[in-house]
Each structure stands twice: as C-alpha cells, then as structure tokens.
Structure 1
Amino acid sequence: MTQYMPLFRSCTSLRSLTQLHSHLLVTGRLRHDPQPVTKLIESYSFMGSPLSSRLVFEAFPYPDSFMYGVLIKCHVWCQFLEDAIDFYHRLVSDRTHVSKFVFPSVLRACAGSGNLAVGRKLHARIIKAGVDDDAVIETSLLCMYGETGRVDDAKKVFDEMTVRDIVAWSTIVSSYVENLQVTEGLEMFRCMVEDGFDPDSVTMISVVEGCAELGCLKMARSVHGYLTRKMLDLGESLGNSVLTMYTKCGDLFSAEKLFAIADNNLTGSWTSMISGYNRAGRFEEALTTFASMVKTEVDPNSVTLYSVLGSCGMLGRIRDGKSVHCFALRRGIDPEYEYIAPAVVQMYTECRRFCDAEKVLLNVGDRNIVSWNFLVSLYAQNGIETRALSLLRQMVTLRITPDSFALASSISACEGGSLISHGKQIHGHIMRTCVSDEFVQNSLINMYSKCGFVDSAYIIFNRIRRKSVVAWNSMIWGLTQNGNSLEAINLFDRIYYNCLKMNQVTFLAVIQACSNLGYLEKGKWVHHKLISYGINNDLYIDTALIDMYGKCGDLVMAENIFRTISGKSIVSWSSMINSYGIHGRIESVISTFKQMVDSGIEPNGIVFMNILSACSHTGSVEEGKFYFNLMERFDIKPNSEHFACLIDLLSRAGNLEEAYRIIKSIPFLADSTIWGSLVNGCRIHRRIDIIKAIKSDLVDIVTNDTGYYTLLSNVYAEEGEWEESRKTRLAMRNSGLKKVPGYSIIEIDNKVFRFGAGDKFFPGAEGIYQFLGSFQNLSKQITDK
C-alpha cells in the first residue's frame, strides 16, 4: 500500500483523482491488487463522490472483507445509511469472512436509520463471532441502542463491559438524556464521577441539557459550579448549553451575566438569549436583543429568526414581523423556507393577517408541507373553522397531502352540528387515501359523538384493532354525552374485565355516566376501583364524585369528599351547592355559598344558576330574588338560563304578573325556556286567562324544543281548548319536530333497568305485563261488586 500513498496524496481535487484512476486502469494495477482499489474507494468518498467509489468497487472481481468495510464506512460518512446496510447484507450473502472492522460502521448505519431489527441481528452475529468484548464495537452498540430509543438494552451492554472508558460513560449518559430519562442520566453521571472519570465537554453538554430539561435551578447551579471547579473551557457549544440551561430553569439573571462575559461574535449566544427571553414571556427584550445583535453585525441564522418571529407574533407586532421576514429574504437566510416557514405563518396568523399567511404558503408550495398542516391546525384551534376547511380543500386541490395532525384538527373544526357535512367529506377523503391513524380515528369518534351521530362513532371505534386508552375514553364520553350512559358503563366494564389500560379520564367518563343514571351502587364500585388504581387527591375526580353522590342521593358521602379536598376549585364549590339544591337543603346552599366567597373565590354564572335552581325547587322566592340581584355585584350579566330559573321560581309561587313583567324587561329576546317557565306556572295555577293574554308572544316563538310545544298543547287540552291544542301539535309537526319519548330508570339488585311508555323489550317485560293484566282484572272485579 505504501507504494501508492504518494500518488494518492498528490490528488488534491476530484479531477486529479480521476486522472490517477485512469492511469491505474491503463497500467492494469486495478485488476488484481485490492490495495489501490480500496484507496480509490476511500478517496472518492472523501471528495464527495460515493457513486464513483461504488463503481470502482463493482469493477473489482474479488472484493474482500476489508474492501467491503471501507465501502460501508464511506457510505456511512456520506449518510447513505440504507445503502451501507445493503452492502453489509451482500457481504454476508457472499459468504465472505466478516471482519470486526465492519461492525462499528454497520451499527452506526443502523443507529442513524433507526433500523433496530438489523441492529439486533448484528448484535447476535457479534456475540457469535466472539468480538463482543471489543471496546470500539461495545461503544458502537451503546450508540445504536441509545439512538434507537432502547436505553434498557444500552444499559445491559454497558453493564457487561469489562473496561469502561470516558467514551462509554459519555455515551450512556447522553443516551438517557436524549431519550428523556434525565434523572437516570444524571445518576449515571454521578456514578461516572465517583468512579474517578473526569468528564469532557461532550459529556457535560449532555448533563447540562438534562438539567435544562428538568428545569431544576438548584441542580443547574450545582452543575455550573462543578464546571467552574474543574476549570472546563466553556467553548461555544457548552457555553450556549449552560446559558440555555439557566433560561429554561427561569434564572434569566444568571443567563444575562453569562451572556455579558461571552464572546459577542457568536451567533449561538445571541440566539440562546433571545430564546430565553421568549421562554420567559419577555418578548420586548427578545426583540431588543435581536436589534442589538444586528447592530453588532453578528449574522443571525434560521433558529434566531424563528425565535424573533415568535416574539413579533406574541406581541402582535405585524410591522416588526414583516421587517424580520424581509430581513430573512434579503440575507438569503433559509431561502427555501425549510425551517422558518412555520414561524412566518404563525406570526401572520397571530397578527390576524390570514391572507399574508396564505400567500407565504403559496410561495412555499409543496416544499414545506409542515407549514400547510400547521396553519390548518392553527385555524381550527383558534375557532376559525371555515378557513381551516377552506385551506384543507386547497391542499387537496394542489395535491399536497395533509398529515394526520392537519386532518385531525380539521375534523375537530367540524364538531359543530352545522359543519357535520364537511366532517363527513373529510372522512370520505381519509377512507379514499388510507392515511388514517389512531389520532385521526379518535378525532372522528369525537366529531360524530358531539354532533349526535353516536352510532357512526361506534362503527369507527369497532374498526380500530388496537384501541388505545384515548379511543376507549372518546367512545365512553361520546355515549355518555348522547344519553347512552348505560352503554358507556358497559364499555367501561369491558375495559376493566379485560384488564386494559385506564386513566383519570376513563374514570371521569364512567362517573358522569353513573351520575346521569342515578346508579349509586355502580358509582360506589367505580369509586372503590379508582382508589385501588391509586388515583387519589385528583381535583377533577373528586368534583365528579361529589356531583355523582349528590345526584344519586348519598349527600353524606358527597359532603365527606368535599371536606377532604384541600384546594377547592370553583367547580368543586358549585358541585356541592348543586348537590344541596337537589336535596332541597336551601340553608346549606346559602351557607356553602358564603363559605366560598369568604375563602376568596368569586362566584361565576354557574354557581348562581345552581343557587337559583335550589331556590326554585324549595319555593324560596325572596332568597331567589336576592341572589339574582346579587349577580350584578360580581359583574355577572344574567343569561337566558338565569332568567328562566327566576321566572320558574316566581311562576311556581303564583307571582305570574311579576314574572311576565320581568320577561318583558329582559334586554334580549326571551326564548322558549323562559316563556315555557311562565306557561308551566299558568298550568299549575290554572290561569288560562294569562296564556290567552300572552298568546301573541307565544306564537312568535320559533324553537326546536319539543318540550315547549308539548307543554303548551297539554295546557290547552286541560282547559278544553282542543282547537288550540291541535294547532300547537300541528306547528310542532310542520317544524319537523317529534316528541322525544320519556323513559324511567330503576336500580334492582345492582342492575339498572330502563323502560319507556309501551316498551315491551326490557328484561322481565312479559312478567310485568302479566302482573299488570291480573291486577287490572282484579280491580275490575272489585269495582263490579
């Protein structure tokens, strides 16, 4: 090989190397001698021409393991990772002896491409070949397992190493940190120091990043102190990591001190400081720092501009945002919009300049699909549903494939009943393009459930083969919200008896279902199970339990849970007030309200709604008036539900004229619920004269509430006004409405039975109807006698 070295050293360009290649071909030195062939392969790869190195390799008839190893190593250098793995498979299939020189390169290819399957097989071959104690191979195995997310396997390799050098320790520490197992990574660092190893800057960067991820300021200062004691040089990378660590730990003062003594010509230091200000919500200072950076003539990069655009967006500074955008275009920073496009789009969107955001997308085209998906999601999340759907349609027209995140966001935008047709179109697109994943399927379940199409949601749910806890939760909530609480409980039982994963959301959904049904025994059973699952002191769960026990009649248990909550939220207080109201405990309602105000929590509209409802149930007219007027003191404007509750209270008490005067004084158009409360009061006190007097008001009401039409029709029928009753029923039918049949629920032997009028399909129906028939005959016989 030494005879060829001067020749290859003289090659300083691809052209001179090609000339040498031609010379070697003419002299016939490449036919049987592998040494110049191997050197050519290596030289071509170093000069950025891996295709040429591959052609040289293919032209040699008898490549050995070393030549394969060089070719594989060169392909890894050039990031042709899959090709490197393919050449390894070819080496094995040629039954050529595989030298240990090949293994580290192939392991790096597996790590970079995420090909864990090949990596595991390679590990087995290494063990079989008896070279698993080679230090370089062991370190490569550590890297491979760490970069593919298999930290446990990396730790096993590390534990079996006979000799651990600084590289091995650094690799295992960084593997833990990069896979977000920061605590374990810092523990390995502690063990490393205790074993007498002095970490280098590479190790310390991982440790510093781990501290930043934890956000623990005490630990951050300890690590910085260690660096100072060891007098490690804070170069650009480590210095920026320490600066970023302080910003993520919320200590901007220390970050500013470090920045003041850092090299002001380093782009990384300025960028870290700008990002730190953004993270702390100090967007003005971020923009000021960027202005100083430009004034100091330090060139920003795409990461810098990404942060600065975010500052402009959060402050709503459209003029500054446009300036930064133009600055990026003038300087040619990220000309293809590979990195800053999402930031530009977000900035324009947050400044409500939607047309500008969409112009950027048109310039980007299909080069940056992330930006399209990002804007669709932003529109959907900010309640701009029509723009989200329009943009999605535009993507499909331009043949830009939306990802699952954009599709799921668009589906969520269709959760309002008026947009269900668009949701169905998106569902059809998903089925045609086969891009559906679990995220999208769960969004479809939520959309159909919230639009009332629970059967469609259940069909999608059943088609999911491997259901995650999110899918189960979505379906249980969908059933509960659509009045199918019994089916929701049955679904929960399937989860429990099949030992599937559950979380707080699962329990919240089934507790709500028990609350809807008044299913006390099942609710107690669920309460016991969530305790056995270790879900204790959860504010949302405790509040749901208060509501469930209150509605199911066990007020003592509701009070016990309420007393155990340490940091009571307004929802907790509201649930307890509502529970007292359901049980007619008006004194307890008022007492609890006073305790809530005394604790420093201001009531909201829902709290007052529960108080007014309690007053209505107990006939506490004066108290109801007092608390209705008290809303003004807390700057709460009564809505239609508050007025309906007050009118119901007055109407039930017989104060019908006062109720009518209040309706006429309402600052907005009274709906069917408010008028229905007055009509119901007239029915109770048999005041058909008032109904006749307000007939013109009742005729003008347009509503989808079948209960209102049914109530009015029944009032007319009770008073013998058959023609008016018929007209009311006819108006309901002409509006396309149908009376929803009522049903009753009863709990017997820990089972809930639901049945409606004329229902003959519930369990035990035949026996019940036989008994009723016998009872009816017996009553008739007694009457005849």
Structure 2
Amino acid sequence: MSLYMPLFRSCTTLRLLTQLHAHILVTGLHYDNLPSTKLIESYAQMGTLNSARLVFDTFRNPDSFMWGVLIKCYVWDNFFHEALSLYHEMIHKQAYISSFVFPSVLRACSGTGDLGFSGEVHGRIIKCGFDDDTVIQTSLVSIYGERGCPNDARKVFDEMPERDVVSWSSIISSYVNNGQAREGLEIFHLMVLESVRLDPVSLLSVAEACAEVGHLRLARSLHAQIVRRGIEYDGSLANSLIALYSKCGDLCTAERIFVYLSNPSTSSWTALISCYNRSGFFQEAVEAFHDMLNAEVEPNSVTMMAMVGSCAGMCWLREGKSIHCHVIRKEIDPDYDLLGPALIELYAECGKLKYCDKVLDIYGHRNIVSWNVLISIYAHKGLSMEALVLFVRMQIQGLIPDSFSLASSLSACADVGLLELGCQIHGHIMKRGHSDEFVKNSLIDMYSKCGYMGLAHMVFDEIKQKSVITWNSMICGFSQNGYSVKAISIFDQMFLSCLEMNEVTFLSVLQACSNLGYLEKGKWVHHKLITSGVRYNLYIDTALTDMYAKCGDLQTAQRVFDHMPERSVVSWSVMIAGYGAHGWIHVAVSLFNRMVESGISPNQVTFMNILSACSHAGVVKEGKSFFNSMRDFGVEPTTEHYACMVDLLSRAGDLNEAYKIIKAMPFPADASIWAALLNGCRIHQRMDMIKTFERDFSDIRSDDTGFYTLLSNIYAEERKWNEFGKVRSIMRGMGLRKVPGYSIIEVEKRAYRFGAGDTSLLQKMEIPSFLPCG
C-alpha cells in the first residue's frame, strides 16, 4: 500500500483519481481500510462527496478512523446535520470510537448551533477517556466560545493538563468574540508570563481585544511584543494593527504600518480606507481608493462597502452613484449581502429615501440586514409609521424579524405611542423565545414612553444578567414618568450591586432628585459621580446645575455653572429658571443679557423661563419687553409663551390687556391660557369679567383638570351652583378627577411624600406632637 500513497498525492484531477480507484478495485486493495479511507478523503477534497460516500458504503467493515474521515469530509463541505447523522449511525454500529472523530463532530455541533448536543458529545468524550486530549479540549474551548458560553470554555481550558498556542488562542477568541475584551487581555497576559510562543493567529484576537478596549498604551505594548519577538506582520496581522491604531485614535502609526508593507494586498488597502472612515477623514479614504486602483489592486466587496461609507459620510450622492455603477459593472457582491445595506444608508444620508426603497425592492427579499437598516433609518428620522409599515412588509415577504428589526420597530412604537402594536411585538418576542438583552431594553423603553411602568418593570425583572443599559432604561423610565422615588430606589439597587455606572445613569438619577427637590440625595449622587471617575461633560454639568437650582441651593448651582468649561443654551436656561423660580428676577435678567452678549441666542425654553420669572416677580414692563423681542431672535411664540404673558398681566391686574392678547393670538387659546386669565379674575375679585369671555371657553374640552377645578371653585365661591354642577358633570363625563395635592419632606436623608388625610407614614403617631394645638 505504501507504493500507492505517492499516487494519491499525484492525482490532481478527478479523472486521474478515478483511474487509480479502478486500479485499486482490480488489485483487491479496496478491502483494506487505508486505501479506501484515502479514496474517501481524496474524493471529498475534489468536491465529489457522493463518490466518497459510495466508497464508504461499499466497504464491509469501516473502522472508527474511516468513520471519522467521512464525518470530517461532510464538515469540510458544511453539511453539518449530515455529519451528525453519521455520528449517530457510528455510535450504534461501532463499539470503539477513536479520539480522531470528536473534533469534527464538535465542529458540526457548532455549525448547527446545537449547544445541547455539544454537551452530550462532551459527556461521551469524558466517558471514553479523551478528556485529556489537547486537540479535543481545544475544540471544546472553541465551540463553547462560539456558542456564547465563555465561562464554560474557561472551565475546559483550566482543566487542560497541557496547553499549546492554539488552546491559548481559542480561549482568547472566546472572550473577545463574546464582548469580554478585558478578560481576553488578561488571558494574553498569563500567556506571556508562561512564555508561550506567540504566533500571528493568536495575536489577531489580541489585537481585536485591544481595539475593543481602545487603549493606545496597550496597542503599543502589543506592537512592541510583535517586533521584539520577530513575528512577521505583512498580512492579516498588519491589517489588524492598522485597524487597532485607528480605533485608538493614532492614525499616523496606522499609516506608517501601511507604508512599510512591501506589497499591500486588497485587504491592506481596505483596512487603510476603513481606518480613514473611522476617523472621519472621508476625503482621504477616497484618495486612498484612487491610489489603490492606480496600483492595479482589485477592490472586493468589503472595499466597496467602505467606499460607499465614505460617500455617505460626505453626502456625496453623485460619487456614491458612481461607486454603485462600478459595483454593478464589475459584478462585485452580486447578491448584495454587504453592499445592499451600505447603499441604503448612503441614499438615506443623501436624503433620497425613494432610492432606498428601490434598492430594498431589488435585493431585500434575500437580505434581512437591508430591511433592518431601512427600518432603523426611518425610526431615527422620526418616520415612525413608515418604519412600522416596512416592518409589516418584511414579514409579508416571508422574512422573520431578528433582534435588530424588533428593537427598531419597538422604538418606532414608542415614538408614536402605539402601545397595542408594541404589545403584539412583545407577544412575537415571547413566542420566538428572543432573550436578547437589546430587545428587552427596547421593550422597557417602549413601555416607559407609553407610560406603562408596571409592564416595563416586569420586563426588567425578567432579565437575569442586567447590563448598565438595562438599569439606565429603568431609572430613566421611572424618572421621566414622574416616579422619581422609584427611580432613586432603582439607582440605589444598582449602586449596592457594585455595577459600573456611566454618565446616563447619573443624568437620570439627577433628574429624579431635581423633580423631588431632594437636595441631600442630590449631593450624595454628586459625590458618587466624582468618586466613580465618570468624566464631566456639558450634559452632566447642566444636570447638576439644574438639580441644585431646583433644590434651592442657588449658591452651589452658580458655582457649578461658573466652573463649566463651555455652556450651551440649555445651561444658561437652567440657571435663569433657577433664579426666576426663587424670585431673583434681577439676577435672572442679568444672566439673560450675559448669555446674549456671549453670542448664544436664546431659544423657546429660555424665553419660557425668563417670562415665567417675570410672571412670578410681577415685573410687567420687562416681561412685555422680552415677549416682544422673541421674533428678533427667530423664536416664534407658542401656547406656553402666551400663557406666561396672560398670567403675568392677569396677576398684575391688567385683565383687559390679557384678554386682548388672547383675542390677538394666531391660534385658539387652550385651557391653560384661559385658566391664567380666570386665576387673575379670582385674585383681583373681577368676577364680572368672567361673563365677558365665558362664551369663549364654553366649548373647551381638555384633560387639564386644573382648568375645570379652578372654574368650578370660582362658581362655588360665587354660589352659582348650577354652573358649578355643569363643570363637575363635564369632568365626570370625561373621566377626570381632581388631582390631590401632596407635600414632600426630607427627614434623615430620606424623602417622604404625603397628602391630606394620608396615614401611611410610619411616623403617623409622632407627627401630631409637632403640630400646634387648637
């Protein structure tokens, strides 16, 4: 048989192999395992798997090695289910199984995504006594990592008696591919300490981990290891280093690595172009592409996708169309698996949504990513209904939505308040068994924006491993729906769980403290913000200013405001509102003038705050001046601004002028504006004026309980019981009820909320002792 082995290697065509097969049959060697096994492998390598199976089926007694070769051949051609069927058949027929079989079977398990069966195979490996085989253990590490179980991969890795460079590379890849780059780098550190020989393959995963962390010092340290150990990096490793430096913000070093390449390949040019795109240098990316063509290096689909991204970054429609034509002419990526989504994004950035639809109609029936991109674009551009229509169309086409399409559709439901459709999508998620945290966070956001915090909290409780995004979604939802005490409670749970917090966490809890006027808690959060190492930015500084101002600590609010390196119109507006709410009208006006002098134009919120300040202080002249100057800054008065002016004039007693403003408004007055005038009439005992404009607001139907309550109280004070009854009847008919007032007090660094007749507080027996007798 040894004479035939060189002949197998010389069979470079199917015809020669067939002739050799015929000769083996004539000589009777086909009854031996070795030539038959070699035939099976040779046929599979030439792409004729049926012939390989035929040789196997005609053999009388295939041994474990022959079974393993055939299984390996099926795995080569990605017939994973067939490979597993062969394994089951072998289990029933073979008493002995060699270790050679299991790496291919594990590869097939990974291909089918059947993690449960992987566990069964792992059990058989232990039963057969192969659990100390380095190749098998490395395969187990790899499959657990690929199926999202890095902890299981680590257990196998730790039990390995011997570890080669492939084993180390597999465990590093397991962590990196599952988003745990820091853990991957820790393994690499151990690998270096144990003096394991590094190779380019192992360093690829390390470079990817460094890029995820984005730490320039780590990148340079890795690069130094490569140079010091004399490892060649003229191919994939060089491309990874280019990407690594670009993600760490060191574009110069990335360019320098590329320049030193002796013969840059398509992948190298693509890495450089992507590097420019990532840094926002789209013009340089286009120039690099022209240099690539001049160097007669053919671009591939990834290169063209990067170029489409460059055109999208500069909104170059003409150039983008040219790239599109080049792709069609050269037949690059004919199925548009990569370029379909990129082209949709290009045309969307250029404002050509009709072109997006055309690309989707042509290529979308076979690529769910294209649908996901367009649904996401519609949702982010505020075209929520269009996004949802697209979501329905996608399913009519027979495509099953994945995590991205579900999350984008839930976001669209939240924006337009379509709770019923959101609930239907939730039902689909439960039916399909989606456990993706990304989708669950979108559900929390959707229910929160629709005002159903109970359902949002239910989804929150279902998530076992909560990320910082999940916690932030819940805190933000409670805070924005007026459940500030619950928002702070969730924040406290997060803090006690020792989870890492980011700026969004602190912004949400600071908003909750502002809503409650909870100064002590706000100070505590400020302290944790400092000690946590979260970088201060414009948003956090503004939130701190707002919190201190609303809690009455104007001195600290001013100090935070003064130390801000830059101030936005929101920052100025917050500070103006703080002084205005506490009656410091002159300081508020001075701040407004300083803001204008600094070159920042006031917006609608700024004017709202300054007009409100004027109303509280009763300074009519200044209020009129600010209101009349709004259009000079390009700000058109809204309902809220007119309400402030009517309130200002009404409080000052100039009721006729307030009524004139209402009649001169470019749009009908709503309940809040009439309520301001009614309140002025009540304050100045001008009940006679109410008859003048009673007919104007008789047809108002609003969910503003304050308006109806004020009107009914005025009728009650005037003893007009018929009118009083009519107003209360309207409220009952609309399902409205008077919102009870409440107070919040802070005792021993805790906030307590109570209303009239509330006996729920623990201190209900102690409170009367503090009240005056009589």
> What TM-score do you get using the length of structure 2 for normalisation?
0.79
Post-superposition offset of 1:63: 2.5
- In the other structure, the counterpart of 2:390 is 391
The letter of the residue matching 1:305 is M
- In the other structure, the counterpart of 2:771 is none
Question: Could you tell me whether the CA contact under 8 Å between 1:547 and 1:558 is conserved in 2?
Answer: no
- In the other structure, the counterpart of 1:2 is 2
- In the other structure, the counterpart of 2:326 is 327
Comparing 323-332 and 574-583, the one that deviates more:
574-583
Post-superposition offset of 1:542: 8.3
Q: Distance in 2 between matches of 1:421 and 1:174?
A: 42
Distance 1:535 1:222, change over 3 A: closer
- In the other structure, the counterpart of 2:68 is 69
The letter of the residue matching 1:302 is S
Question: Could you tell me whether the CA contact under 8 Å between 1:511 and 1:526 is conserved in 2?
Answer: no
- In the other structure, the counterpart of 1:680 is 679
- In the other structure, the counterpart of 1:783 is none
Q: Partner of 1:2: helix, strand, or coil?
A: coil
Q: Deviations over 1:344-376 (max 9, x none)?
A: 121222222222212222222431122112211
Distance 1:440 1:652, change over 3 A: same
- In the other structure, the counterpart of 1:782 is none
- In the other structure, the counterpart of 1:39 is 38
Map 1:593-672 to 2 at 5 A. Answer: 605-621=604-620, 624=623, 638-660=637-659, 671-672=670-671
Q: Partner of 2:742: helix, strand, or coil?
A: strand
Question: Could you tell me whether the CA contact under 8 Å between 2:419 and 2:450 is conserved in 1?
Answer: yes
Q: Partner of 1:235: helix, strand, or coil?
A: coil
Q: Deviations over 1:604-659 (max 9, x none)?
A: 54355344434433434456556667877876555432342243223212233454
Query: Unpaired runs of 5+ in structure 2?
Result: 769-773
1:740 pairs, out of 737, 746, 768, with 737
Comparing 611-620 and 377-386, the one that deviates more:
611-620
The letter of the residue matching 2:741 is S
- In the other structure, the counterpart of 2:377 is 378
The letter of the residue matching 1:741 is K
Q: Distance in 2 between matches of 1:454 and 1:176?
A: 35
Post-superposition offset of 1:336: 1.3
- In the other structure, the counterpart of 1:237 is 236
Q: Distance in 2 between matches of 1:249 and 1:465?
A: 33
Distance 1:195 1:594, change over 3 A: farther
Post-superposition offset of 1:379: 0.7
Q: Deviations over 1:119-160 (max 9, x none)?
A: 566666666666666554555455455545555666666666
The letter of the residue matching 1:743 is P
Post-superposition offset of 1:342: 0.7
Distance 1:421 1:168, change over 3 A: closer
Distance 1:437 1:741, change over 3 A: farther
Q: Distance in 1 between matches of 2:651 and 2:273?
A: 64
- In the other structure, the counterpart of 1:79 is 78
Q: Distance in 1 between matches of 2:702 and 2:79?
A: 67
Q: Deviations over 1:718-757 (max 9, x none)?
A: 5577787788778x679x745432213356997856567x
- In the other structure, the counterpart of 2:366 is 367
Distance 1:192 1:703, change over 3 A: closer
Q: Distance in 2 between matches of 1:154 and 1:461?
A: 30
Q: Distance in 2 between matches of 1:584 and 1:212?
A: 53
- In the other structure, the counterpart of 2:351 is 352
- In the other structure, the counterpart of 1:250 is 249
Q: Partner of 2:365: helix, strand, or coil?
A: coil
Question: Could you tell me whether the CA contact under 8 Å between 1:30 and 1:37 is conserved in 2?
Answer: yes
The letter of the residue matching 2:14 is L
The letter of the residue matching 1:351 is C
Q: Distance in 1 between matches of 2:254 and 2:530?
A: 46
Distance 1:191 1:450, change over 3 A: closer
Question: Could you tell me whether the CA contact under 8 Å between 2:391 and 2:409 is conserved in 1?
Answer: yes
Q: Deviations over 1:405-441 (max 9, x none)?
A: 2233223223355755655665676678776866555
Q: Distance in 2 between matches of 1:497 and 1:268?
A: 45
Distance 1:207 1:414, change over 3 A: closer
Post-superposition offset of 1:215: 3.5
Within the alignment, does 1:14 sit opposite 2:14 as a pair?
A: yes
Question: Could you tell me whether the CA contact under 8 Å between 1:317 and 1:351 is conserved in 2?
Answer: yes
Q: Distance in 2 between matches of 1:199 and 1:177?
A: 17
- In the other structure, the counterpart of 2:400 is 401
Distance 1:45 1:148, change over 3 A: same
Task: Work out the number of aligned pairs and report it.
Answer: 760
Q: Distance in 1 between matches of 2:284 and 2:625?
A: 50
Post-superposition offset of 1:343: 0.7
Post-superposition offset of 1:303: 0.4
- In the other structure, the counterpart of 1:337 is 336
Distance 1:597 1:368, change over 3 A: same
Q: Distance in 2 between matches of 1:200 and 1:668?
A: 73
Post-superposition offset of 1:302: 0.7
Q: Partner of 1:366: helix, strand, or coil?
A: helix
CA RMSD, 1 decimal: 5.1
Map 1:407-556 to 2 at 5 A. Answer: 407-416=406-415, 419=418, 423=422, 439-440=438-439, 442-452=441-451, 461=459, 464=462, 468=466, 478=477, 481-482=480-481, 516=515, 555=553
Distance 1:317 1:701, change over 3 A: farther
The letter of the residue matching 2:243 is T
Q: Percent identity?
A: 50
Q: Distance in 1 between matches of 2:466 and 2:191?
A: 39
Question: Could you tell me whether the CA contact under 8 Å between 2:64 and 2:94 is conserved in 1?
Answer: no
Distance 1:602 1:122, change over 3 A: farther
Question: Could you tell me whether the CA contact under 8 Å between 2:145 and 2:174 is conserved in 1?
Answer: yes
- In the other structure, the counterpart of 2:308 is 309
Q: Distance in 2 between matches of 1:633 and 1:271?
A: 51
Distance 1:610 1:328, change over 3 A: same
Question: Could you tell me whether the CA contact under 8 Å between 2:510 and 2:522 is conserved in 1?
Answer: no
Q: Partner of 1:743: helix, strand, or coil?
A: coil
Question: Could you tell me whether the CA contact under 8 Å between 2:106 and 2:140 is conserved in 1?
Answer: yes
Distance 1:564 1:181, change over 3 A: farther
Question: Could you tell me whether the CA contact under 8 Å between 1:519 and 1:752 is conserved in 2?
Answer: no
Question: Could you tell me whether the CA contact under 8 Å between 2:581 and 2:613 is conserved in 1?
Answer: yes
Distance 1:247 1:91, change over 3 A: same
Distance 1:173 1:393, change over 3 A: closer
Q: Deviations over 1:651-689 (max 9, x none)?
A: 212233454555566676654433432332232113345
> What TM-score do you get using the length of structure 1 for normalisation?
0.78
Distance 1:648 1:302, change over 3 A: same
Q: Distance in 1 between matches of 2:308 and 2:530?
A: 49
The letter of the residue matching 1:69 is G
Q: Deviations over 1:240-294 (max 9, x none)?
A: 3333333333333444444455456622232222212211222233233334434
- In the other structure, the counterpart of 1:708 is 707
Question: Could you tell me whether the CA contact under 8 Å between 1:448 and 1:457 is conserved in 2?
Answer: yes
The letter of the residue matching 2:742 is I
Question: Could you tell me whether the CA contact under 8 Å between 2:705 and 2:736 is conserved in 1?
Answer: yes
Q: Distance in 1 between matches of 2:13 and 2:323?
A: 40
Question: Could you tell me whether the CA contact under 8 Å between 2:384 and 2:416 is conserved in 1?
Answer: no
